[in-house]
Amino acid sequence: MTWAPIVHSRTAHLDFRSNFIVSPHDFTDRDLTWAKEYILATTTYPEQLRSGGVRWSIFSCKRYLVAGATCMSRELSEDCVHDQFGRPLFAFVGYVTKWPSTVLPLKHIDAFRPLYEFVRQRFDEQGQRHAEKRVVCGYDRVVEEILVGRSDMDRTINSEPGLLHVFPIELCDKLWVAAAYAQGSSVVLDVSMEPAWLKGPFTNIAVPGVESIQRRTWNKASPEEIAANPYANRETHVPSTSRIPHSDINVQSGQPRVLVDEHPLRRSVSGVVAFFRGAVSEFLRGSSRETKCKDQNMEDRHRSSD
């Protein structure tokens, strides 16, 4: 399969371009806005990238699938890694394909290094004309790939914008593959439990120190709201948490059977309902037992009369 590049970076003299360093030729303004929401989220807390870490991310919509890496530029190149003020640069480098895809780029930084060539080509540009210029590229990049196959994880990946699934970091490799299968899902790997990640656009995150898969509800914006105003402050309320037991991951229905966060009132109402339901069924069982007993007595009486 061939891929189109999408790259977000500052260069020596010019700030981060609103149209990216390069993007696929068929991306509309709406597609650029959609991709920007996720790409800017991957560059949250860029200072945490200094230690050499790479944030891997995959996100998809109805038409496209993007797989990318966010890291300090020095992880991708030996030159063109500081701006004119001497600040160390960071970048998002990613591959785009049409959804669905049966393959994914290999989750290794070597597979993404060639994309920094696009930054190098535009590194010395100056002036507003270049800042606004949009550079596009076709689906002609060949990259080392891995096959995407169905797995248990497919059912645990969350595609709902209002929800967030938090995975243990140990599941990173499985998530990378599973994310390609679930249309509309988004995954960012190796982040933290800080509010920016919990409230951001990603519907799945992998975090060190988490032992089991967790589901968090959050009043996130819908994709339409995100597209209309990607930079809106969506701070809402403290998230409620529930854990997804491992036994609930593989279910016959094809959907993950997750525990739903319940309001205490709803819980107490359900408790009362359950009590009455139990009492009614107990009564019915009792009356049926009684009927059975009556029938038994009748039979016995018949037998004795015989």
* Contact footprint for another protein (CB under 8 A): 8, 10, 14-16, 18, 40, 43-47, 49-50, 72, 82-90, 128, 131-132, 194-195, 229-231, 233
Q: How far is it, in rounded angstroms, from Cα 261 to Cα 165?
A: 13
Nearest to another protein of 8, 155 (CB atom): 8
Q: What angle do CA 87, 37, 10 make, to 5 degrees?
A: 20
Could you tell me which of 221, 217, 222 has the C-alpha nearest to residue 262?
A: 217
Residue 15 Cβ, how far from another protein at the closest point, in Å?
A: 3
Q: Which residues, 6+ apart, have CB-to-CB distance to 160 below 8 Å?
A: 203
User: Coil, strand, or helix at residue 257?
Assistant: coil
Query: Nearest distance from residue 240's CB to another protein, in Å?
Result: 19
Q: How far is the CB of 194 from another protein (least distance, A)?
A: 6
CA–CA distance, 223 with 283 (Å, rounded to integer): 50
Nearer Cβ to another protein, position 84 or 297?
Answer: 84
Looking at the Cβ atoms of 116 and 176, the one nearer to another protein is 116
Nearer to another protein, 120 or 141 (CB): 120
DSSP string, 91-149: EEEEEEEESS-SEEE-SSHHHHGGGGHHHHHHTT--SHHHHH---EE-S-B---EEE--
Question: Strands, DSSP E only, in 148-256?
Answer: 163-168, 186-188, 204-207, 214-217, 240-243
CB of 86 to another protein, least distance (A): 6
In angstroms, what is the minimal distance from the CB of 104 to another protein? 26
Amino acid at 91: A
Measured from the CB atom, the residue of 41 and 175 that comes closer to another protein is: 41
CB of 151 to another protein, least distance (A): 34
Residue 15 or 306 with smaller CB distance to another protein? 15
